[in-house]
Amino acid sequence: MTVQALRWPNSAHSEQMIVAALAAMSAADANASGIVMPYRLTSGESLDEGLARIAEEQALKAAELLKADGASAYALRKARARFKKVRAVLRLGRHALGEAYAKENIRFRDAGRLIAVARDADAAVTAAEGLFAVAASVAEEEAASALLAHLVRKRRKIRADETSTTRDVERAARMARAGAKAVAKLDWPSRFAEVSPAIAKSYARARRTMLAALDSGDIEMFHEWRKDAKHHFRHEQIFAGLWPGVLDSRVSELSRLGRILGSLADYQLLEESAAAWSPTKTHRDNRRRVMSLIDDKMIAAMAAARDLGDHLFKDKPSHMRAAHEALWAARR
């Protein structure tokens, strides 16, 4: 197949992308080891087999995390990420899966919500630690330290309700195990044409919410962009293993964008905690100093997200879909 046949319409970036793909594919085939990658399709499996494997593996890993580590911050964070990855795979096969999509999507959404409260408490503490690290004066350090102590006490109180936390974790683990069995048996799409619209849709939504966020500066729109960009990121992750050297750099940049937008969400959570915080009269200036620090961090995160987003979402959705379809055709 020629480079011209694989051209990404109206995009100068397309030809470079395709040329790199063709060069890398033969090398990948020559070095293929047959080892199954956790969240990527491999050259040796069909589309439907790969999607079923990925969804089942992620659900089982979430269940294992919750069983082994219980309510630890690490286990809760990683398990929620696994649930979101399952939902991303489900979104790829949404139209082919029919009613099964809604059932399983709700299952893994609800499982994630069961363990979300404890995760939010951990995120607020982590964000407060970040504020303390960038404090530029003794007064700012004292303010950040006071807020951090408050949030640590709040987290300790949430974790003190061990019965409720344990019950929710155990229920989420049971849902994950049942979900793993269910997704392994679904009738997953076998043709790329059945999933390429979902890839284009996730890209289009992320691009649309990015433009709205950057145009308005509204923090809520930045959060919508974060969610939509994460959906697109997970779809690109799934296919990155098939086109090494092509999507790897894009996946890396999308991951970085996710961290930037995620920090923005954590700082908003911290801002809400600070607004509800009632420091003693002796430290009545703490809240003001903390809120100023948070504002600085959020402005910096927005600027970094803008720079990266302009690069990642510069092409039209139709171009993105055409490029992925061409790459899939070249793989065969």
Say yes or no to pLDDT of 25 above 60.
Answer: no
CATH code (residue 84): 1.40.20.10
Tell me the pTM. 0.79
Let me know if residue 160 belongs to a domain: yes
Q: Is 243 left (phi over 0), alpha (psi -120 to 50) or beta?
A: beta
Let me know if residue 51 belongs to a domain: yes
Average of pLDDT values for 24-34?
A: 39
Let me know if residue 1 belongs to a domain: no
Let me know if residue 6 belongs to a domain: no
Following CA atoms 175, 181, 184, 186 in sequence, which dihedral angle do they give, to the nearest 10 degrees? -80
Let me know if residue 2 belongs to a domain: no
Tokens 């961290």 correspond to 259
Convert 128-149 to b/e letters by CB count within 10 Å (16 or more is b).
bebbbeebeeeebbbbbbbbbe
The full DSSP string for 144-163 is HHHHHHHHHHHHHHHHH-HH
Let me know if residue 4 belongs to a domain: no
- Give the model's pLDDT for residue 5: 35
Let me know if residue 221 belongs to a domain: yes
Residue range of the domain that includes 170: 14-28+37-331
107-116, 249-258, 279-288: which range is least confident on average? 279-288
- Percent of the chain scored above 90 by pLDDT? 51
The whole-chain average pLDDT of the chain stands at: 83
- Give the model's pLDDT for residue 168: 87
| pLDDT (tens digit per residue) in 76-86 | 889 999 999 99
Say yes or no to pLDDT of 192 above 90.
Answer: yes
| pLDDT (tens digit per residue) in 263-321 | 998 888 888 877 777 666 556 677 778 888 888 889 999 999 999 999 999 999 999 99
Tokens 């729109």 correspond to 221
Let me know if residue 9 belongs to a domain: no
Say yes or no to pLDDT of 27 above 80.
Answer: no
What tokens does 16 get? 């470079």
The better pLDDT of the pair 13, 61 is held by 61
Q: What's the structural domain count of the chain?
A: 1
